Amino acid sequence: MDRPLLLPSRLRRLVLQRATLCVLGLILQLDALATTPLTIEPALANSYREGVPLASYSVSEKYDGVRALWTGKKLYSRQGLPIQAPPWFTQDWPALALDGELWAGRGNFDTAQSVVARGADNDERWRQVRYMVFDAPKASGTFQDRLAAARSALQSTSAQHVEVAPQWPATSHQALMEQLRAFSHRGAEGLMLRRTDTPYRAGRSDDLLKLKLLDDAEAVVIAHVPGKGKYANMTGALKVATPDGRQFQLGSGLSDAQRHHPPPVGSTVTYRFNGYHASGLPRFARFWRIRDDEPQQTMKDTQTKKMPAESR
């Protein structure tokens, strides 16, 4: 009768250690799968134009902050990057998935962006921020149904630092433009229109419309153009690329400090403009601000990946 193979004690301990590590690794992987965030693809806005059937839309202020998606457990950016808020900020938030904006008040975009970029280490400054909810992506029904679900979910908790954004019915183009001027005069970025009779649809569509006094969009910096004359030894312009691959330069709008230390290649910037040329390029495009909450891209990214779309 064959004798069983006996491994040396040192080898047996090594095998046991390796087996234990494999089991622990499997447990960690299963735990990670159990806590994988709910996938939410955000709805993106088209620009408002006269002639839209306003009776089917609801209106709210356009909050100039950082778009954020609440999965029911964690906050993520619209690019799917985790937002590291302090635990107290999201304490007792509902399990319902929410779509909204981390907002520090009118005219305080830089504050909101800085707070989010620095994460939970910036604990006290998070007290300046509120999460303005404007949809519940995973709730069923029309926009009105989803908004009611969001209100109900928040009312059933003691959650703070979060609220449902006020909404009102759209009536006429003239009334909408008067509201736009009034809100803009008080420092708002503009208005948003949401179609009230459709389910939540991810991606860009007329379900979500933006209305602002000035057009703006985002592009990726692909080069720094050297300055001339009074801008010698500084950056004269940013060469940028749009989501559809069109390239142009942003010369105006840059401060002297930004010309000395321009947004790095691969960063996302927001520019303002006045309509489009027949070629599709923006008219009178000028630099507005850098989007620190957008992931930086490489030159390869700008050539092979879909780049950031227009500002929501």
pLDDT digits (tens, 9 = 90+) for 152-168: 999 988 889 999 999 99
64 within 8 A of 213, measured Cβ to Cβ: no
Question: What's the pTM?
Answer: 0.70
Average pLDDT, the chain: 85
Rounded to 5 degrees, what angle do the CA atoms 77, 163, 272 make? 50
Of the pLDDT bands very low, low, confident and very high (cuts 50, 70, 90), residue 149 is very high
Mean pLDDT calculated for residue range 279-295: 83
Per-residue model confidence (pLDDT) at position 9: 57
**Sheet of 286-291, strands arranged across:** 247-250, 235-241, 215-226, 268-273, 286-291
Mean pLDDT calculated for residue range 288-305: 61
Of the pLDDT bands very low, low, confident and very high (cuts 50, 70, 90), residue 69 is very high
pLDDT greater at residue 304 or residue 165: 165
Give first-to-last CA distance, the chain, whole Å: 77
Mean pLDDT calculated for residue range 58-87: 95
The three state secondary structure string of 44-58 is: EEEECCCCCCHHHEE
Mean pLDDT calculated for residue range 260-285: 90
228 is catalytic: no
pLDDT tens for each residue of 202-221:
999 999 999 998 888 899 99
Per-residue model confidence (pLDDT) at position 283: 86
- Is pLDDT at 12 greater than 60 in this prediction? no
Query: Of 210, 271, 186, 167, whose CA–CA distance to 62 is shortest?
Result: 210
Rounded to 5 degrees, what angle do the CA atoms 110, 116, 120 make? 135
- Is pLDDT at 29 greater than 60 in this prediction? no
pLDDT tens for each residue of 92-141:
999 999 999 999 999 999 899 999 999 988 788 999 999 999 999 999 99
Residue 277, Cβ neighbours under 10 Å: how many? 11
Most confident of 10-19, 29-38, 270-279, 303-312: 270-279
Of the pLDDT bands very low, low, confident and very high (cuts 50, 70, 90), residue 33 is very low
Query: Of 76, 88, 69, 84, whose CA–CA distance to 150 is shortest?
Result: 69
Per-residue model confidence (pLDDT) at position 293: 63
- Of the residues 62, 210, 239, 300, which is catalytic? 62
State the Rg of the chain over Cα: 24
Mean pLDDT calculated for residue range 57-68: 96
Per-residue model confidence (pLDDT) at position 139: 96
Mean pLDDT calculated for residue range 231-235: 94
